[in-house]
């Protein structure tokens, strides 16, 4: 198998590209030289949460990772065999657990036996999916593709302290199902989860109330408001996750509590994001679209979905996935939606590691 050099400044040019490149290198068995890591950022190079994800993939794939240190703008990675078993990864501070999982889960599908992951860090941090979104939107999509994930325990952790932890088990899956979704279909219900830790109950209640008011024209909106107590939470923080269930789809939107930002504004922001998704009629929300591409690229058949707007993250995911896997992507626009068709050449994917 030949080595590959990836320019980490391409497209979105952030940590997502670095995580995906290393994960795809592990899946295909290709030696990777990754350059210009996060070149366009105010603080270029690898930060703690990026390092955690890359090292996790290297551990899972018995690989050799060189140059991976804080601030590094270039790394080399030689993957080995992907082994199942028990793993513990520590992100440190409040680095996002969800972003580490984005790197390791697609790799774990190729393990010899199930993987059990314990990951510590932040569960609800700005700039990353909340844990409720992962559990109630992303993992159900994986289940639809045939992936079996069991969540064993969760402790919430927030910026800047972190201290959250999740434990989950994922079974290997070499035969992913394709996804064919042109529309979300009729809205069935909207529900949500507003939680805080070490803060008064009225804060999540106000988040929930403002979100319900902003979504009232869709009908009743059930949002649970709660204070998460020890040992289910570490530190001070909170988040709001909204989920719209439709005839064919799940659409999500989130906000994370920030010091100085009123609870009402958080609720309104999440509601506005979800309203845009529901009104568009798209099959996937903008965040699910970019997260699922690496799985659809390995599915046993053609996938197609619509999205309100194909984000730069998603376009970057399309580019980097195409550098590693024998897959084609077709993107078109019509009736206010972006339509993405994923065309894997399955007979080649299974042989990637043996090329």
Task: Report d(CA 62, CA 91) in Å as an integer.
Answer: 19
Q: What is the DSSP letter of 72?
A: -
Task: Report d(CA 103, CA 159) in Å as an integer.
Answer: 21
Whether 313 is catalytic: yes
Taking alpha carbons only, the member of 62, 145, 49 closest to residue 106 is: 145
* Residues 20, 101 contacting (CB under 8 angstroms): no
Task: Report d(CA 327, CA 320) in Å as an integer.
Answer: 11
Alpha helices (runs of H) in the chain, residue ranges in sequence order: 15-28, 48-60, 97-108, 131-133, 139-144, 202-214, 263-280, 286-296, 312-324, 346-349
* Residues 165, 151 contacting (CB under 8 angstroms): no
For residue 99, give both structure tokens: 């972003």
Residue of 110, 156, 195, 313 marked active site = 313
Strands 180-181 and 303-307: what pairing? parallel
User: Active-site residue numbers?
Assistant: 313
């Amino acid at each position: 198998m030949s080595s590959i050099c990836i320019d980490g400044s391409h497209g979105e040019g952030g940590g997502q590209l670095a995580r995906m490149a290393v994960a795809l290198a592990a899946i295909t068995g290709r030696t990777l030289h990754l350059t210009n890591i996060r070149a366009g950022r105010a603080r270029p190079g690898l930060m703690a949460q990026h390092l955690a994800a890359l090292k996790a993939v290297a551990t899972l794939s018995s690989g050799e990772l060189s140059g991976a240190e804080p601030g590094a703008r270039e790394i080399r990675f030689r993957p080995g065999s992907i082994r199942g078993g028990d793993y513990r990864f520590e992100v440190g501070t409040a680095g996002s657990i969800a972003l580490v999982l984005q790197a390791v889960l697609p790799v774990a599908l190729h393990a010899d036996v199930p993987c059990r992951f314990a990951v510590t860090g932040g569960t609800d941090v700005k700039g990353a999916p909340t844990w409720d979104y992962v559990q109630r939107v992303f993992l159900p999509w994986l289940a639809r593709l045939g992936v079996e994930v069991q969540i064993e325990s969760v402790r919430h952790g927030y910026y800047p302290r972190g201290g959250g932890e999740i434990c989950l088990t994922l079974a290997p899956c070499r035969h992913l199902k394709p996804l064919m979704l042109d529309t979300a279909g009729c809205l069935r219900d909207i529900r949500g989860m507003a939680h805080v830790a070490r803060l008064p109950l009225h804060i999540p209640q106000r988040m929930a109330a403002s979100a319900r008011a902003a979504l009232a024209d869709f009908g009743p909106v059930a949002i649970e408001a709660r204070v998460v107590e020890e040992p289910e939470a570490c530190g001070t923080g909170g988040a709001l996750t909204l989920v719209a269930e439709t005839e064919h789809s799940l659409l999500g939107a989130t906000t994370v509590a920030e010091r100085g930002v009123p609870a009402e504004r958080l609720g309104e922001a999440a509601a506005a994001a979800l309203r845009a998704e529901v009104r568009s009629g798209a099959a996937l929300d903008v965040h699910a679209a970019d997260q699922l591409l690496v799985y659809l690229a390995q599915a046993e058949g053609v996938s197609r979905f619509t999205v309100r707007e194909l984000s730069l993250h998603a376009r970057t995911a399309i580019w980097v996935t195409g550098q590693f896997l024998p897959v084609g992507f077709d993107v078109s626009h019509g009736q206010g939606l972006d339509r993405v068709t994923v065309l894997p050449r399955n007979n080649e994917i299974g042989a990637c590691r043996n090329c």
